[in-house]
Amino acid sequence: MKVSIIGAGAVGATVAMRVVESGLADVVLLDVLNNVACGKSLDILDAAPIIGHEKSIIGTDDYNQIKSSDIVVITAGLARKPGMTREELIAKNAGIVREVSGNIKIHAPSSIVIVVTNPLDSMTYLTYKTTGFKRQKVFGMAGVLDGSRFVQLISEEMKVKRSSVETYILGSHGDSMVPLLSHTRVSGKPIEKVLSKDRLEAIIKRTCDRGMEIVSLLGTGSACYSPSAAVYRMIDAILNDTKNVHVVSTCLNGEYGLKGISIGVPCVIGRNGIEDIVELKLSKDEVNALSKSAEAIKRSIELL
- Work out the end-to-end distance of the chain between its first and last CA atoms, rounded to an integer number of angstroms: 34
Task: Please tell me the predicted confidence (pLDDT) of residue 186.
Answer: 97
Residue 42's Cβ-side half-sphere holds a number of Cα atoms within 13 Å equal to 7
Task: Please tell me the predicted confidence (pLDDT) of residue 86.
Answer: 61
Beta strands in the chain (DSSP E): 2-6, 26-30, 57-60, 71-74, 112-115, 138-141, 165-166, 169-170, 178-179, 185-186, 189-190, 244-253, 259-270, 273-277
Nearest to 142 by CA among 171, 162, 179, 167: 171
Is 53 a residue of the active site?
A: no
Task: Please tell me the predicted confidence (pLDDT) of residue 81.
Answer: 67
- Helix and strand totals (H; E) in the chain: 10, 14
Nearest to 250 by CA among 264, 268, 230, 260: 264
pTM for the full model? 0.95
Please list, in sequence order, all residues whose beta carbon lies within 8 angstroms of the beta carbon of residue 217, skipping any fewer than 6 positions away. none
Q: Which of 53, 107, 173, 246 is catalytic?
A: 173
Average confidence (pLDDT) per 10 residues, the chain, 304 residues: 97 98 98 97 98 98 98 91 70 93 98 95 96 98 96 97 98 92 97 95 96 89 94 98 98 96 97 98 96 94 87
Domains of the chain: residue spans and CATH: 2-140 (3.40.50.720), 143-303 (3.90.110.10)
3-state helix/strand/coil string of 206-262: HHHHHHHHHHHHHCCCCCCHHHHHHHHHHHHHHHCCCCEEEEEEEEEECHHHCEEEE
Angstrom distances, CA of residue 293 to CA of 78, 105, 287: 23, 30, 10
Is 35 in contact with 64 (CB distance < 8 Å)?
A: no
Q: For residue 80, what is the DSSP state?
A: P
